[in-house]
Amino acid sequence: MGFKIGNHRITGMDAFLIIVFIFWVLITYQIFWADTGDSKSQSQANTNGKTEIVFWHAMGGPLGEAMDKLINEYNNDPNSKCYVKTINMGGYDTLQKKLLASLIADEAPDVAQCFETLTKKFIKHEKIVCIDDLINADIEKAKSENKPIEDIRNDIIPALRINNTFAGKLYSFPFNKSVQVLYYNKDMFKEVGLDPEKPPRTFNELRAYCQTIVDYYKSKGIEGKYGYGCAKSNNWSFLNRIKANKGYIVKRDNDGILKCGFNEKAAIDSLSFLQDMLKDGLAKEGQAFDHQNEFIAGKCGIIESSVTSKIYMNPDFRMGMAPVPGIEDETLPGGVYRSTILSGTNICIFKNVDSKKIEGAWDFIKWFTNTENGVKWSIGTTYMPVRVSSVNSGLMKAEMQKDPNLNAIYGYLDNLAFEPRITAWFEIRDLIADYLERCTLEHKDPKSYCAEMQKDIDGMLKHVTDTDDNKELGNVDM
């Protein structure tokens, strides 16, 4: 047998392990002793003895930077009631998971971003503070102190207020709200003979513009260019088009039963509009950010995307923005009827035994969304301002003058709508996306998909109508 026991020669391996060990000791020192003492005293200095509010969010990249900048201002403001500590969860997905886990463990943050469906669950199980009560308390206080009474509710953009109102009470506060918009390539418009300052206003115009673009490049023998790009099986666009076609998504019928409107003309038109564009080679769908990339690369003239994508798109050409198209309507001043569906989250305050925390959180929300900061937030991120006073402020007007693209977003906020806040909505949403996918993969008659979709979703809605939470928190609003 040829093995040796107790061989003490130092091998390369031993040297490696020794180096790793020394390294480890240094790191451990750095983490536990060198740094923490520092940051502890630092954070104490920062909070200035104010109550610390923990805010969980999912604002990454440039959006997060803009937010942190604003929040820093708040923290350094001597009049602010608390110190806000932001924690980035990296995405809505993980934020939601962490929220659920922390609520079960009774370790919820003080404030967090929430989608409406989740808010509704929080209300049902009494996890969040009702903002309405806080506003009423403010008003009572102002009355008793003989100060001017200000009802913030009246200053929230009406659609956003309804969006956050459950069973007649405002529970959460709109925070980062976005809409779909059209982005278009002004240089390409000019090249193909379209007016760069006249983006398409209606679906018919959009189609005609795309035809012009495609025809132009075909005549020049240039391949790979097309008119309109959008994301694959994009619910948001589809629902937007239904609303713009004056249709509805879900409503209560006379017996109080929820019914969806996917087999109505508005929905069928919405579906066939896209299918026809794809079939005729005017449009192309892309996975994830493909359409955005192709647009930046100058391959397509117009895309539909979230307004926040603006920050991520810095193309080499002159980029124009326009509201999503609508339908002709002579009775309206502009001759076009538009409707846009809102997306994005709201902010919730979680119940806490420490009333100071709730007070601080509320102070922070009021500050963050006030007239001036709302404008800053909008300009920094392109999220919508949530207060009417922000939209009408001189600051906003000046910014809109400076950047005409902003005008395209905030100049057309009529007929804002939002997705139904029913419990099964996430499931239904997924189902709609399946149908949209099938429609563009199989290219069958849109009517058949719409009929099937209606049947499937009505089936699901029937189940939902009877569940308590939907009755109590009532308003489906769509």
CB under 8 Å to 414, separation ≥6 — which residues? 338, 339
Name residues contacting another protein, limited to 386-445 (CB under 8 A): 402-403, 424, 426-427, 430, 433-434, 437-438, 441
Question: What span, in angstroms and rounded, lies between the C-alpha atoms of 333 and 293?
Answer: 35
Helices (H), 194-297: 203-220, 235-244, 265-279, 290-296
Q: How far is the CB of 476 from another protein (least distance, A)?
A: 18
- Residue among 37, 61, 281, 335 that touches another protein (CB under 8 A): 61
- Residue among 37, 60, 411, 474 that touches another protein (CB under 8 A): 60
* Half-sphere exposure at residue 443, Cβ-oriented, CA atoms within 13 angstroms: 5
DSSP string, 33-77: IIIHHHHHHHHHHHHTTPEEEEEEE---HHHHHHHHHHHHHHHH-
Binding track, positions 324-363, relative to another protein; x by CB under 8 A: ----------------------------------------
Residue pair 167/474 in contact by the 8 Å Cβ criterion: yes
Which residue number, 216 or 298, has a Cβ lying nearer to another protein? 298
Q: How far is the CB of 27 from another protein (least distance, A)?
A: 5
Residue entry with tokens 């969860």: 89
- Residue among 139, 196, 315, 475 that touches another protein (CB under 8 A): 315
The residues facing 285 across adjacent strands are 230
The stretch near another protein (CB under 8 A) out of 34-42, 327-335, 351-359, 449-457 is: 34-42
Residue 45 as a binder of another protein (CB under 8 A): the answer is no
Rounded (5°) CA angle 352-77-389: 85
Residue 50 as a binder of another protein (CB under 8 A): the answer is no
- Residue among 44, 76, 94, 392 that touches another protein (CB under 8 A): 94
Q: How far is the CB of 386 from another protein (least distance, A)?
A: 18
Q: Considering Cα of 99, then 100, then 104, then 105, what sign does the dihedral take?
A: negative
End-to-end CA distance of the chain: 83
The residues facing 188 across adjacent strands are none
Give the closest residue to 271 by CA, choosing from 450, 419, 441, 430.
450
Q: How far is the CB of 278 from another protein (least distance, A)?
A: 13
Residue pair 82/53 in contact by the 8 Å Cβ criterion: yes
Burial of 166 (0-12, 13-18, 19+ CB in 10 A): buried
Residue entry with tokens 């026809």: 276
Q: How far is the CB of 274 from another protein (least distance, A)?
A: 16
CB under 8 Å to 370, separation ≥6 — which residues? 387
Integer Rg of the chain from CA:
27
Which residue number, 92 or 216, has a Cβ lying nearer to another protein? 92
Residue 22 as a binder of another protein (CB under 8 A): the answer is no
Residue 88 as a binder of another protein (CB under 8 A): the answer is yes
- Residue among 196, 264, 298, 456 that touches another protein (CB under 8 A): 298
Name residues contacting another protein, limited to 139-178 (CB under 8 A): 178
Q: How far is the CB of 317 from another protein (least distance, A)?
A: 8
Which residue number, 160 or 424, has a Cβ lying nearer to another protein? 424
Question: What Cα–Cα distance (Å) separates residue 190 from each residue in 179, 198, 209, 213, 382?
Answer: 27, 11, 12, 10, 26
Q: How far is the CB of 463 from another protein (least distance, A)?
A: 13
- Residue among 54, 464, 473, 476 that touches another protein (CB under 8 A): 54
Residue 208 as a binder of another protein (CB under 8 A): the answer is no
Residue 218 as a binder of another protein (CB under 8 A): the answer is no
Name residues contacting another protein, limited to 95-134 (CB under 8 A): 96-98, 100-107, 121-122, 124-125, 127
Give the closest residue to 116 by CA, choosing from 342, 351, 419, 421.
421
Question: What span, in angstroms and rounded, lies between the C-alpha atoms of 277 and 288?
Answer: 19
The residues facing 181 across adjacent strands are 305, 323
Q: How far is the CB of 288 from another protein (least distance, A)?
A: 7
Count of residues that interact with another protein, criterion CB under 8 A: 85
Q: How far is the CB of 96 from another protein (least distance, A)?
A: 6
Q: Are strands 416-418 and 165-166 parallel, antiparallel or unpaired?
A: unpaired
Give the closest residue to 248 by CA, choosing from 231, 277, 230, 270.
270
Q: Which two tokens stand for residue 156?
A: 């929230």
Which residue number, 169 or 438, has a Cβ lying nearer to another protein? 438
The stretch near another protein (CB under 8 A) out of 88-96, 258-266, 269-277, 370-378 is: 88-96
Which residue number, 216 or 289, has a Cβ lying nearer to another protein? 289
Residue 472 as a binder of another protein (CB under 8 A): the answer is no
Question: What span, in angstroms and rounded, lies between the C-alpha atoms of 295 and 301?
Answer: 7
- Residue among 68, 205, 312, 475 that touches another protein (CB under 8 A): 312
Question: What span, in angstroms and rounded, lies between the C-alpha atoms of 388 and 410?
Answer: 11
Q: How far is the CB of 87 from another protein (least distance, A)?
A: 5
Which residue number, 60 or 193, has a Cβ lying nearer to another protein? 60
Residue 18 as a binder of another protein (CB under 8 A): the answer is no
Q: How far is the CB of 140 from another protein (least distance, A)?
A: 31
Q: How far is the CB of 269 from another protein (least distance, A)?
A: 24
Which residue number, 231 or 478, has a Cβ lying nearer to another protein? 231
